[in-house]
Structure 1
Amino acid sequence: MVNKRRVILVDDEPLARVGLKNSLKCRHPDFDVVAEAESAAEAWELVEQDGKIDGVFLDIHIQSESERAGLDLAFALNHLVDPPWIIFVTGYAEHALEAHEIHAVGYLVKPLEEAKVDSLLDWIRKNRPVSRQGRISIRHRIKNGLAEYEWRTEFVDLNEILYIHKNKSVNTVRVHLAQGIVLDGINATLATWETQLCQHGFLKIGKSSIVNLKLVRSLISPPAGSEVYKLSFKCGIDELSVGLDYLDKLHKAMKS
């Protein structure tokens, strides 16, 4: 059985959507068009509600919104915990550099050339696994040999994640894995992680941390003269402080 990639088409031109949908159905049936949107706002709602979209074919210039509506949507999608890959499909070539900076996997100019579409989708088959429950992709920053930053995408099982911690810099977090690995510089808010992971056994234990309850070993009572409770993990890595306002919810979650 072929694992299908669940994709959506975002374009304000109905004929463009029909043409691309028919092309995918005939030439690339493993790319399953599960929804269509004629605006960035509608597309954002579809992705948020579904939660399992693998990829987005995205027009940039959506006349009902703005010339940059597609770019703005791509930027927002990249801040999701598990962002879909993005292919820009547009009649304008001048936004190619910005598309690259947003980390789109491809940029196709209308009218589409079948050979370029085939090549790009083959690359996705080889390099972007089909989304499955319990696994997410995390894009984070690392330093290269020139003391500069570059981006890397890791594919991580949820049961590998110990906790997520908010950085001091605005809207970035770091993810601590059970193997002792830390993925840092991730462009997503702690609130976004909490919303998307709460249904998978994760819980916020303070203003700056969300933990994987499946990997928690014990809740440590504070020593004399202190009010600070701490969590320890089964792997023996790290201990985290628990906010007093979060204790009751933590007790209930650990007993359930």
Structure 2
Amino acid sequence: MKVLIVDDEPLARDELEYLLTQNQVVTKVQQADSISAAITQLVAMPMDLVFLDISLSNENGFDLADKLHQLATPPLVVFATAYDQYAVRAFNIDAIDYVLKPFEQRRIDQALAKAATALQTRSVDQRETNLTPTPMANAVISITEDEKTRVLKQRDILAGFVENGELVIITATQRIGAHQTLSWLLTRLAPEQFMQIHRSMVVNVNAVSEVEPWFNHTYQITLTNGDKMPVSRSFVKEMKQRLNM
């Protein structure tokens, strides 16, 4: 695993690098002391994971986290900071962990374990996407559950999301579980009809009845059946474009 440390404090960077190199999953560690330096390094050499401080001299680590989504393959993010009040905001932009200073080997190892699992899932999803044909204008999808196959009209699907490791598909009258991934579902849904609002959630554009601001500059969608779905900051821009906001 290739890791980039972004922190304006040299001692903090060196301490974290030492702890990272004690874990065998880490193959390379680089350091950056500013957002511009971090972006330069990430463009030159894609990294798997970024340990990111929030307070960077006159900069804010959240600004870099937002810019990471512009990369072809964004790295995962662990916020590594002395401040605990930003944890909720960090997880709203899909950070995989939030580690407080002073660093401890146990917490760094936990964060690396989460990253390794997430990277493995990403790799599997990418392989499934590459092996599965791009969806054509199919009006239905088939879900096999307990040896019974349900045939669903795409227009009847309100949303799909992952819950406790299981894919859940919601229609106006049903809640259907399936032993599949969200990537599997995305490759079968008509892209002009559905939009992803979270890394583990997709909704039918025609099923959105309300959109309201939520906390920390995120949004919440209400579907026609009354269910409410959070919109991750990573997908706010796309949502606004799709809904002509």
User: Normalization by structure 1: what TM-score?
Assistant: 0.49
Distance 1:24 1:14 in 2: 15
Matched, 1:72 2:68: no
Q: Counterparts of 1:155 and 1:42 in 2: how far apart (Å)?
A: 33
Q: State the alpha-carbon separation in 2 of the partners of residues 181 and 91 from structure 1.
A: 44
Aligned to 2:79: 88
Distance 1:94 1:116, change over 3 A: same
Take 2:197 and 2:70, find their aligned partners in 1: how far apart are those partners?
Answer: 8
> How far off is 1:61 after superposition?
0.2
Q: For residues 129 and 24 of structure 1, what CA distance do their matches in structure 2 show? A: 19
Counterparts of 1:12 and 1:105, CA distance in 2? 21
> Residue 102 of structure 2: SS of its match in structure 1?
coil
Higher relative contact order (CA 8 A, sep 6+): 2
Amino acid at match of 2:26: F
- Quick one: which of 48, 55, 60 aligns to 2:54? 60
The correspondence of residues 8-157 of structure 1 with structure 2, limited to 5 A, is 8-26=4-22, 28-50=23-45, 52-63=46-57, 65-66=58-59, 69-129=60-120, 143-144=160-161, 145=170
CA distance, structure 2, for counterparts of residue 96 and residue 137 of structure 1: 32
Q: Deviations over 1:98-124 (max 9, x none)?
A: 101110000001001322222222222
Q: What SS class does the counterpart of residue 63 from structure 2 fall into?
A: helix
Looking at structure 2, the residues matched to 79 and 58 of structure 1 have their Cα atoms a distance apart, in angstroms, of 17
Q: Which runs of 4+ in 1 moved over 6 A?
A: 153-156
Q: Percent identity?
A: 30
Provide the rounded CA distance (Å) in 1 between the counterparts of 2:65 and 2:171. 29
CA distance, structure 1, for counterparts of residue 84 and residue 73 of structure 2:
28
Report the secondary structure of 1:128's partner residue: helix
Provide the rounded CA distance (Å) in 2 between the counterparts of 1:76 and 1:29.
29
Give the TM-score normalised by the residue count of structure 2. 0.51
Q: Distance in 2 between matches of 1:130 and 1:40?
A: 28
Shift of 1:23: 1.0
Q: How far did 1:82 drift?
A: 2.1
Task: Indicate which of 172, 190, 195 corresponds to 1:184.
Answer: 195
3-state secondary structure, aligned to 2:110: helix
Q: 1:6 aligns to what?
A: 2
For 2:54 and 2:83, the matched residues in 1 are separated by: 8
Q: Which amino acid aligns with 2:195?
A: D
CA contact (8 A) 2:160 2:182 kept: no
Q: What do residues 35-85 of structure 1 show as CA deviations (whole Å, max 9, x unaligned)?
A: 2100011101211222x311101111001x33xx21110011134332110
Instruction: Assess if the C-alpha contact under 8 Å between 1:54 and 1:131 holds in 2.
Output: no
1:185/1:61 Cα in 2 relative to 1: closer, same or farther (>3 Å)?
A: same
Unpaired stretches in structure 2, ≥5 consecutive residues? 130-158, 162-169, 173-180, 199-245
Q: Which structure's CA Rg is the greater one?
A: 1
Q: CA deviation at 1:181?
A: 6.6
Using the alignment, how far apart are the partners of 1:136 and 1:90 within structure 2?
Answer: 34
